[in-house]
Amino acid sequence: MKKFTKSFTQQESIPEAGINSAIEVMRSGRLHRYNTLPDEKSETDLLELEFAEYMGVPFALACSSGGYALHIAMRAAGVEAGDKVLCNAFTLAPVPGAIHNSGAIPVLVDVADDYCIDLDDLEAKAASSGARYFMLSHMRGHLADMDRIMAICDKYSLFLIEDCAHTMGASWNGVKSGTFGDIACFSTQTYKHINSGEGGFLTTRHPEIMARAIMHSGSYMLFERHFAAPPKEVFDEIRYHTPNYSGRMDNLRAAILRPQLADLDRQCQRWNARYRILEQVFNQCEGIHIPPRPEAEQFVASSIQFSLPGFSTEQILRVVAQCNERGVVLKWFGAAEPQDYTSRYDSWRYIEEMPQLPKTEQVLSTLVDMRIPLTFSEDDCQLIGEVISEVVATVATDKD
């Protein structure tokens, strides 16, 4: 019986350049982003400039977490208590949590069979809900048809916030994920595409939005020390009306991230090579379905999702359990009760206007998720794919 023995939570080590830079920061004692010498750019300043350049946008803000970036994105966009905000029903809990934190009401949109937001349901709810904001989660790295997304946003005058926690480095028709909307938010939490344990970014092309975000992040009156930022004149009135929610990134995390950002595109290629091996193995297994990725989508596959059509709840639980016994850790998004980082939309019971979404429940009922750490070799991915395929085939034919 084939077994896998590596950890699904073990990430690659921080690059030596990042370790050395972090040691320099620690030796200096100047971990706070504003603790700089005259005319000096801190590690956090340099990271923001480099991320803005990578994204091709004028403004970038390094934050304490991706979830914090989502929160201040809502605030900087002008969302007020009682506003309705469209968002995916298939996403992770920080997305509706950020909407709730702003006092707004999430309007959940169905998921399609390709695991992306259902564009027909999005258009229908954009027309009927009166929502002026749309927080689009590129959940687990799946990019919806961004051409149609933007057409819907234009038609209904939706302010678009992109949650790019799983799509840093991805693009649609050559346009980077995070550059379609009005604001984009990224995560640098351990299991994302660059790793600082916790951390994130907010980017935008709008000067006033970035000025509010910088004030929200806890700049006090030190906003002039931001370099991937609008001119100081933009802050003239904003600084008096924008509360401080203190969520800055520190120089230690920025030092760790800068070499990883410089190597991001190569790392994305490594993830996708591993994904393609798993995809090829799964496509040879009759019980497993993986939706094809559109040609327009240049994805970053740090995880893989697949469906087990026709499998009952009991069968899926057996697949997960038997794979786990053989060293392969899977997560199921269809469970009625939240588990680990997975939760179905109807477990977010703080949402006052909870819809019934039978299509989302049907898609999630057979949806399985697996991380692809870069500590796994391509041969490891071949073995993992074979283990899962063998278990699926066994459970499919075992009537007991």
Q: Is the pLDDT of residue 12 over 90?
A: yes
Q: Is the pLDDT of residue 398 over 90?
A: no
The reply to whether 233 and 379 lie within a common domain is no
* Ramachandran angles phi, psi of 226, nearest 5°: -95, 135
Residue 96 covered by a domain: yes
How many Å apart are CA 155 and CA 151, to the nearest integer? 6
* 229, 262, 295 - which closes a domain: 262
The reply to whether 320 and 246 lie within a common domain is no
pLDDT-derived band at 60, boundaries 50, 70, 90: very high
pLDDT-derived band at 336, boundaries 50, 70, 90: confident
The reply to whether 283 and 347 lie within a common domain is yes
Residue 349 covered by a domain: yes
What CATH number did the domain enclosing 331 receive?
A: 3.90.1150.10
The reply to whether 284 and 198 lie within a common domain is no
How many Å apart are CA 282 and CA 147, to the nearest integer? 30
> Which residue from 180, 183, 176 is spatially nearest to 208, judged by alpha carbons?
183
Average pLDDT of the segment spanning 54-59: 98
The reply to whether 202 and 104 lie within a common domain is yes
Q: How many CA atoms lie within 13 A of 75 on its CB side?
A: 24
The reply to whether 184 and 230 lie within a common domain is yes
How many Å apart are CA 109 and CA 274, to the nearest integer? 31
The reply to whether 203 and 318 lie within a common domain is no
Residue 390 in 3-state DSSP?
helix
Residue 142 belongs to domain spanning: 16-262
pLDDT-derived band at 399, boundaries 50, 70, 90: low
Average pLDDT of the segment spanning 364-385: 98
The reply to whether 255 and 388 lie within a common domain is no
Residue 249 covered by a domain: yes
Residue 334 covered by a domain: yes
What CATH number did the domain enclosing 114 receive?
A: 3.40.640.10
- Note the pLDDT tens digit of each residue in 229-271: 999 999 999 999 999 999 999 999 999 999 999 999 999 999 9
How many Å apart are CA 10 and CA 361, to the nearest integer? 31
The reply to whether 227 and 149 lie within a common domain is yes
Tokens of 375: 């500590």
The reply to whether 258 and 352 lie within a common domain is no
Q: How does the average pLDDT of the chain come out, rounded? A: 96
Average pLDDT of the segment spanning 98-125: 97
Q: Is the pLDDT of residue 400 over 80?
A: no
Percentage of residues in the chain having pLDDT higher than 90: 95
Residue 11 covered by a domain: no
Whether the predicted model's global pTM rises above the 0.95 cut: yes
Q: How many domains does the chain have?
A: 2
Amino acid at 185: C
pLDDT-derived band at 1, boundaries 50, 70, 90: confident
Length of the chain: 400
How many Å apart are CA 105 and CA 346, to the nearest integer? 15
- Note the pLDDT tens digit of each residue in 163-206: 999 999 999 999 999 999 999 999 999 999 999 999 999 999 99
Residue 198 covered by a domain: yes
Q: What Rg value do the Cα atoms of the chain yield, rounded? A: 22
The reply to whether 144 and 174 lie within a common domain is yes
* 238, 262, 286 - which closes a domain: 262
pLDDT-derived band at 321, boundaries 50, 70, 90: very high
Average pLDDT of the segment spanning 290-304: 97
The reply to whether 60 and 72 lie within a common domain is yes
The DSSP annotation for 100-132 comes to HHTT-EEEEEPBPTTSSB-HHHHHHHHHHH---
* 222, 241, 262 - which closes a domain: 262
Residue 320 covered by a domain: yes
Residue 345 covered by a domain: yes
